[in-house]
Amino acid sequence: MKEEVEIAWSLYLSLENTIERSFEFVYPLIDENKNVVSIPYQQIIFASCSEINNLLNLLMGKYSRKPEDFKKNASMWNIRLFYRALKDESFNNDIKNEINPIGNKKFYKVLESQSLLDQIKNETVFLDYQLHKIFNDPFKIKPFKEQKNAEHPSWWNAYNNLKHNKTKNFPEANLENAICASSGLLVLIKYIALVLNCSPILFSGTKLMHACKMPRYGATCTAEDGDSVISGGTFPKTNLPCDC
C-alpha cells in the first residue's frame, strides 16, 4: 500500500499545480472568484475524491474490513460507511496494535484518546496567501470538518452531485470546491502515511496548501533528525503559521 500512497502524493502535487496554473486566468484574490466554474476544477474534484475513495478502500482491505461490518447487507463502500469504520473502536485498536509506539510515539499516543476519524476531521490545512480571499478564516481550513446541517463536507456532496447530475449541478464545479477537495486528499495522504509509518517519496513539496509534517515547495526533503517526516521527523523550519 506504500506504493499507492506515493502515487497519491504525486497526484496531489499535479492537482495543486493545475489549480496554480488556473490563476493565470482566474484571479484568486477576489472573493467572488471562488465561485468560478470550469472543467479543470470539476476534474480536480473528481480526481481528489476518487483517490480518497481508493485510499480508504485500500485501508479497509489492509485491516480486513468489509462494508457489511458497518451496515447489514451492504456490498459497497461509501463515505458514510468509511466514517463509521474510521470511528470504530476495534478498527482503531487494530491500527494502534500495528504501530511502533517508539518510532511513531506521538500518533500512537493521540490514537489512545482520539479515533482516526476525529483526527482527520480536526486536521488543519494552511493556505498560501493567494487563497486567503476564498475562505472565511483566510489562512486555514479543516476540509473534513462537519458542516452545519450536513453529515459530510460540502465538497464531497458537490462530488456526488456532479457525478449523478453534472448538467444540473455544474455550478458546484468551482474553485472553492476544487481547493477543498484537493486539501482533503492532502489530509488523507498524511494520515494513511501515519498509519503505515511511512513517508511518500517527497521529491517536491506543496505550494498552495500545507499540512504539518509535510514539506513545502523549496524545502529540502530530508528530515533533520533522520526520521520519516510524516511519522514525526523534524522538518527544516518553514514559515507555516503553526508549530510544525
Identify whether 20 is part of a domain. yes
Identify whether 237 is part of a domain. no
pLDDT value, residue 6: 87
Tens-place pLDDT, residues 57-72: 999 999 999 999 999 9
pLDDT value, residue 221: 37
pLDDT value, residue 123: 92
**Stretches in the chain below the pLDDT threshold 70:** 102-103, 132-138, 147-150, 199-204, 213-244
pLDDT value, residue 157: 95
Tens-place pLDDT, residues 154-174: 999 999 999 999 999 999 999
Identify whether 116 is part of a domain. yes
Number of domains in the chain: 1
Identify whether 95 is part of a domain. yes
In the block, cell 469504520 appears at 85
Identify whether 234 is part of a domain. no
pLDDT value, residue 137: 59
> Domain span at residue 117?
2-210
Q: How far apart are CA 137 and CA 234, in angstroms?
A: 27
Identify whether 227 is part of a domain. no
Identify whether 225 is part of a domain. no
Identify whether 222 is part of a domain. no
pLDDT value, residue 215: 60
pLDDT value, residue 231: 36
Contacts of 50 (CB under 8 A, 6+ apart): none
pLDDT value, residue 226: 38
